[in-house]
C-alpha cells in the first residue's frame, strides 16, 4: 500500500536551500523549479534584503557589535574609526594576554595580564569569547570584558579574524 514515502514539507520558518535543490536536480536530471516550492526560488527575484534600522529602547542594554573579516580587509581600521568617531558611545573590550607586561603599559588599559594557567582555566570554563596564540603567548577577549563595556552604557565593538 505504501510503496514510496511521501515527502514532508520543510519545517515552518525555514526555506529550502536553492543550492541544495540545484544539486538534487542535477543528480535526478529534473528542473529545480519543478522540484522546489515557490518559496525556494523566490529569493532569486529580489537581489537585496530589506534592512530596518535598529532602535534601542532607552531601558534596553546596548548590544555587542562584532566585525568579522580576513586579515588585510580593514576590519581593525573600521573598529578603530568607529570608536574614534564617537568614544562616548563605542568602546572596545580590553583583551587578556599571557605575555609579560611592558614597563609603559598599565594592567587593564592595554591588556589584562594574567598567567597561562588562569587563561587556560578561562578557556575551559567557556569564559572567553575568542582567543588565539601569537609568538607563544595567548591573547583573547573574555565575556567579562565585554560585559564591563556594556555595563558602562556603551556599545562594545570587537573585531575577529576567522581561522
DSSP structure string for 87-112: TTTEEPPPPEE-SPPPTT--BTTTBE
Average per-residue pLDDT for the chain: 80
pLDDT score of 128 more than 90: yes
Q: Where are the domains of the chain?
A: 10-51, 65-160
pLDDT at 2: 47
Categorize the per-residue pLDDT at 5 as very low, low, confident or very high, splitting at 50, 70 and 90. low
Q: Is the pLDDT of residue 47 over 70?
A: no
What mean pLDDT comes out for the span 100-128?
96
Are 154 and 83 in contact by the 8 Å Cβ rule? The answer is no
In this structure, CATH architecture of domain 65-160: 3-Layer(aba) Sandwich (3.40)
pTM of the model: 0.65
How much is the average pLDDT of 38-55?
63
Return the pLDDT at 21.
52
pLDDT at 92 exceeding the cut of 90: yes
Cα dihedral 158→139→119→61 (10° resolution): -10
pLDDT of 163 reads 73
Rounded percentage of the chain residues whose pLDDT exceeds 90 = 56
Q: Which residue has the higher pLDDT, 42 or 94?
A: 94
Q: Is the pLDDT reported for residue 147 higher than 70?
A: yes
117 or 56, higher pLDDT: 117
Of the pLDDT bands very low, low, confident and very high (cuts 50, 70, 90), residue 56 is confident
Amino acid at each position: 500500500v505504501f510503496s514510496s514515502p511521501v515527502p514532508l514539507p520543510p519545517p515552518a520558518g525555514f526555506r529550502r536551500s536553492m543550492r541544495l535543490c540545484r544539486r538534487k536536480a542535477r543528480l535526478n536530471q529534473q528542473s529545480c523549479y519543478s522540484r522546489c516550492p515557490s518559496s525556494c526560488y523566490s529569493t532569486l527575484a529580489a537581489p537585496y534584503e530589506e534592512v530596518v534600522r535598529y532602535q534601542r529602547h532607552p531601558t534596553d542594554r546596548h548590544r555587542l557589535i562584532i566585525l568579522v573579516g580576513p586579515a588585510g580587509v580593514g576590519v581593525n581600521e573600521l573598529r578603530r574609526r568607529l570608536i574614534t568617531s564617537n568614544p562616548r558611545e563605542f568602546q572596545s573590550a580590553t583583551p587578556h594576554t599571557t605575555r609579560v607586561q611592558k614597563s609603559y603599559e598599565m594592567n587593564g588599559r592595554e591588556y589584562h595580564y594574567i598567567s597561562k594557567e588562569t587563561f587556560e582555566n578561562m578557556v575551559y570554563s567557556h569564559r572567553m569569547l575568542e582567543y588565539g596564540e601569537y609568538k607563544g603567548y595567548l591573547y583573547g577577549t573574555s565575556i567579562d570584558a565585554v560585559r564591563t563595556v556594556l555595563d558602562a552604557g556603551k556599545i562594545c565593538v570587537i573585531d575577529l579574524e576567522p581561522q
